[in-house]
């Protein structure tokens, strides 16, 4: 289940760590947005499959 405040917290924390290691903030934020988006899609598919089985 998507939790917008948690997502923002994770992206900010990872962007901070990334910039401390020489990566661009927007790169890290975009990367984590993709990773989180993929995880949300996977979760939705799993939920949908469970509902179909029930």
Q: In the prediction, which pLDDT does 1 show?
A: 65
Residue 41 clears pLDDT 90, i.e. is over it: yes
Annotate 5-40 with DSSP letters as a single string: HHHHHHHHHHHHHHHHTT--HHHHHHHHHHHHHHHH
Tell me if the pTM is above 0.95.
no
Contact 15, 29 (CB under 8 A): yes
**Average pLDDT estimate for 6-12:** 91
**Average pLDDT estimate for 23-47:** 93
């Amino acid at each position: 289940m998507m939790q917008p405040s948690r997502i923002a917290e994770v992206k900010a924390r990872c962007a901070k760590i990334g910039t401390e290691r020489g990566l661009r903030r927007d790169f890290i934020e975009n990367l984590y947005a993709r990773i989180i988006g993929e995880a949300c899609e996977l979760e939705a598919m799993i939920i949908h499959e469970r509902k179909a089985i029930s």
